[in-house]
Structure 1
Amino acid sequence: MSTGGTAVARALVDNGVSSVFALLGNQTVSTAEGLHERGVDVVSARHEYNAAVMADTYGRLTGKPGVALTVAGPGATNALTGVAQAYTAASPMVCVSAVLEEDAPTEALHGVDDPQFLETAFEPATKWSTQVHTPERIPVAINRGFEIATSGRPGPVFIGVEDAVLMNDVDISDGAFDWDRQTTIGPDPDGVADALAPLSETNRRALYVGKGVSRAFAWDGVIEIAESLGCPVICPRHYPDSFPNDHELFAGTVGMSDHPAAVTALEGADAVLSIGVRPSSHEATVLGDRAGTDTAFVYLHAGSKEYAQTPTAAVVGGRLDESIDTARRVFEQETRGTAGDYLDAVHRRNERVDRDTAAYLADVKDQTPIHPLLVMARLREVAPDDVIVTGDAGAAGGAWPNDVFEYRTPNTFQHSRLYDSMGFPVPAGNAAKLVDPDRAVVNLIGDGGFLMCNMELATAVATDTDAVTVVMNDAKYGMIWNYQRASGHSEVATDIPAVNIAAMAEAFGVRGIRVEEPDDVKSALESALAAEEHVVVDIVTDPAAEYVSRKIW
């Protein structure tokens, strides 16, 4: 005999789990014990939201579901924000939580009046949400959850297991753990080829490449398609790393702020091939708004049938990697080149932005407080091409790395958007380092966001991971403060008391570097990247610095 928690551990291991992110309670200790006995690394977070962020990041970087483990009630609801974030990021994830018994009394410990409230709460933010109240359903639910999380458009699932089942001895037959995996059927190659006809019928075409390409790990095929067509490539604003930014065909991003070259490419295109973007999504709406009224849109995406936000020539769902491979083979025979005047117009816009950004940097590189553009420029100079950058809501981890950082390797910008919760980078960076210890990881965050997740420095120490956390410390909730000023609102509740974040890091046993002079930025970043320990670089920055997208674009 063994506990239900041990059965959960066995089912997770059967699904290939090697790491679980958790904040334990009485209800989950037997699960953690079962995982530990089976060689699984149980990583203790300091908040359940952070455990969910780590599971989300693990899923983005590996393609395998990251697993978060929580107790019932506040443990699960604390994780809900991270789960919703994984949903918008199309990240495979399994959140396993204790839940109360079906006939629990009102106001029970970790409960509200409805014992099913966690299943209901997670349902809109997951691909599947369920509660398990009998031992025999444990392996079935977990096996099904892993399959759902990774099929079609990836995403999170929630599996609640009754606390009494987790904590007490249960008798589950070995046969209950067997599972016949479903075979995912790819799209019909002839159907994909027919759908691509609008791209072959014009010499003014563009690609719109979204996060689905990263989730399918299929960027090499997309690069080949772009090069066969010789056409500009645009990415959604929040996923600029879906295509190499240093490629000559990259034309920037659209959404919230639009790169001029990207707008030129979309406005001048007769046909746009959208790859890895949900046709029903906000990102599809942005595409339709920026392109011409007569543009033919063709979507290749990983999900099932969806109603598109734009008038479409064709929508192809199913396995995205197979659709991309078919498209690659179709277009490698392409003989029609992209129109020279169209490409030249896109390139001229790119060159103008590059010149103006360089001039802007020259104007501000010596100012104090330090200008964020200088931080971004120096980071790009010293970081390796495949550096993983984690970003946050707000200016420091969102607007600045979206505007000007050059992502030379796909799937290297892991951030909280579009759900846009604060406090994402430090736990995300911890997970990234656990996935790939030899790779450079830089967490970009403001002081406001850092004060929401600084407790995960303790996790960095416990796991001996050596990411670099760069804090743009401007004593403000800077993005909102600037909005207040620009829109004529009172400057209320956006000041942050001055905090020496480098000293705070030292209190966690983490090396802290305080940077107040612009000439010290590069050496501080170089030193932090070279260290074999987690380093916090606390940079005193200008809260009033104007974004490149507003000043230049």
Structure 2
Amino acid sequence: TSLERAAAVIRKADRPVVLAGAGVIRSGASDELRRFAEGLGIPVAHTLMGKGSMPWTSPMSLLTIGVLPGDYDLAGFNESDLVICVGFDFVEYDPRSWNPRGDRRIVHVDSLPAEISVHYVPEVEVTGEIAESLRLLRERIGKPRESAWAQRTRGQILKRLQSDVDARAEDRLKPQRIMWELRDILTPDDLLISDVGAHKLWLGRFFRTIKPNTVVISNGLSAMGIALPGGIAAKLADPDRRVVTVSGDGGFLMSVHELETAKREKTATVNLVLRDGGLGSIRWKQMARFGRTEGTEFGNPDLVALAAAFGIRGLRVERPSDLNSVVTEALESTGPIVVDVPVDYGDNPFLAPGT
């Protein structure tokens, strides 16, 4: 059977790694994925849309992969000899990025058959309910493997992230610092919704996720402006849950009119707006490719005053040391609130692999 063949391939691999996608969360298979990984000593890297499928605190967690096309080396994929794709969709992380030669051995575990391409040809497909497939595979593989490689890789990832946060200047609000501190401010059950822009890449890498269904990131089509209306919808669906949205100023202004909806519907969301006066991601990519920018800068209204014009309270972070206290104050609000957070995207080039 496909289960027996998949189990045999995984047993023979020296350094298998799991690539977990959004399907793990949507199918409710996160707990079984953790048992599979920790029980067998197989590390897990998750996509941006798969954040929360594996808690970052697990010794088998390699955190997020797919922030940029070539960052598979950060999660040890360059050293692995087998990729076990679980609940994974092409739109989450193009296989051309992590399997450019098309020669990686792949086991596909999903509720749907694999979508085949030159860069994604599974050796074995296990099609069925994801959690049950993982349980049956775990039973058939049986013996856990020695996990020194996984521990070393995880240690390198955490060291790199922590050193990047620690090295940020105290007088500038860097996105690494913002995303790292947000994890310390929010509870494991709070819902974080990300808009699309440069901040999404930093959030994907530096916001450490503990539980499934606690981070929503628009990827694939990557629709700018999703965070504010998405936060309203989330609060209407689950009024007792704290909801925080993170937008760039570009994405926020694309749907700022929805502040009227938030006011009218009394949806108590905290809307963080990372303000840099431009389209940070596009600016960075234009500089990298052309050495100049075009059409990426714009002026902002006073975001606190703009919120007030909608009858909504606004707060502003003035210094890095204010972030914790201002966001904590915002979370106590009984209505929607806008938090203006100036951000310095000067480190965007360092997101690229090898920098």
TM-score when scaled to structure 1?
0.59
For 1:299, the equivalent position in structure 2 comes to 108
For 2:71, the equivalent position in structure 1 comes to 258
Q: Among 157, 165, 171, which residue is 1:366 paired with?
A: 171
Q: Among 125, 132, 138, which residue is 1:331 paired with?
A: 138
Residues 18 and 85 of structure 2 are in contact (CA less than 8 Å); yes or no, is this contact kept in structure 1? yes
Structural mapping, 1:117-128, within 5 Å: none
The alignment status of 1:449 with 2:221, answered yes or no, reads no
For 1:313, the equivalent position in structure 2 comes to 123
CA shift, 1:281, in A, is 7.6
Structural mapping, 1:55-66, within 5 Å: none
CA shift, 1:314, in A, is 0.9
Q: Which string of whole-angstrom CA distances, capped at 9 and with x for unpartnered residues, describes residues 438-494 of structure 1?
A: 212111101111110111111111221111100011111111222233334433211
The alignment-based identity, stated in percent, is 28
Q: In structure 2, how many angstroms separate the alpha carbons of the residues matched to 1:305 and 1:209?
A: 14
Q: Which string of whole-angstrom CA distances, capped at 9 and with x for unpartnered residues, describes residues 373-402 of structure 1?
A: 232232111111122111122112x11211
Unaligned stretches of 5+ in structure 2? none
For 1:434, the equivalent position in structure 2 comes to 236
CA shift, 1:348, in A, is 3.6
CA shift, 1:519, in A, is 2.1
Q: Which string of whole-angstrom CA distances, capped at 9 and with x for unpartnered residues, describes residues 54-95 of structure 1?
A: xxxxxxxxxxxxxxxxxxxxxxxxxxxxxxxxxxxxxxxxxx
Structural mapping, 1:42-121, within 5 Å: none
Residues 48 and 217 of structure 2 are in contact (CA less than 8 Å); yes or no, is this contact kept in structure 1? no
Q: In structure 2, how many angstroms separate the alpha carbons of the residues matched to 1:280 and 1:394?
A: 17
Residues 165 and 177 of structure 2 are in contact (CA less than 8 Å); yes or no, is this contact kept in structure 1? no
Structural mapping, 1:394-409, within 5 Å: 394-396=197-199, 398-409=200-211
For 2:156, the equivalent position in structure 1 comes to 349
For 2:192, the equivalent position in structure 1 comes to 389
**Residues 340 and 315 of structure 1: CA distance in aligned 2, closer, same or farther (over 3 Å):** closer
Residues 284 and 348 of structure 2 are in contact (CA less than 8 Å); yes or no, is this contact kept in structure 1? no
For 1:223, the equivalent position in structure 2 comes to 34
For 1:177, the equivalent position in structure 2 comes to none
TM-score when scaled to structure 2?
0.89
Q: In structure 1, how many angstroms separate the alpha carbons of the residues matched to 2:297 and 2:161?
A: 33
Q: Which string of whole-angstrom CA distances, capped at 9 and with x for unpartnered residues, describes residues 307-360 of structure 1?
A: 25323211233x433xx3133133146443323442243134224313422432
SS of 2:272's partner is strand
Runs of 4+ in 1 over 6 A off after TM superposition: none
Moved more, 428-437 or 490-499: 490-499
- Structure with greater contact order relative to length (CA < 8 Å, sep ≥ 6): 2
Bigger radius of gyration among the two: 1
Query: RMSD across aligned C-alpha pairs, in angstroms?
Result: 2.5
Q: In structure 2, how many angstroms separate the alpha carbons of the residues matched to 1:344 and 1:305?
A: 30
CA shift, 1:214, in A, is 1.3
The alignment status of 1:490 with 2:299, answered yes or no, reads no
Amino acid at match of 1:371: K
For 1:458, the equivalent position in structure 2 comes to 260
**Residues 519 and 451 of structure 1: CA distance in aligned 2, closer, same or farther (over 3 Å):** same
Q: What number of residue pairs does the alignment pair up? A: 352
**Residues 269 and 552 of structure 1: CA distance in aligned 2, closer, same or farther (over 3 Å):** closer
Q: In structure 1, how many angstroms separate the alpha carbons of the residues matched to 2:15 and 2:112?
A: 28
For 2:183, the equivalent position in structure 1 comes to 380
Amino acid at match of 1:387: D
SS of 1:364's partner is coil
Residues 205 and 338 of structure 1 are in contact (CA less than 8 Å); yes or no, is this contact kept in structure 2? no
Q: In structure 1, how many angstroms separate the alpha carbons of the residues matched to 2:327 and 2:24?
A: 31
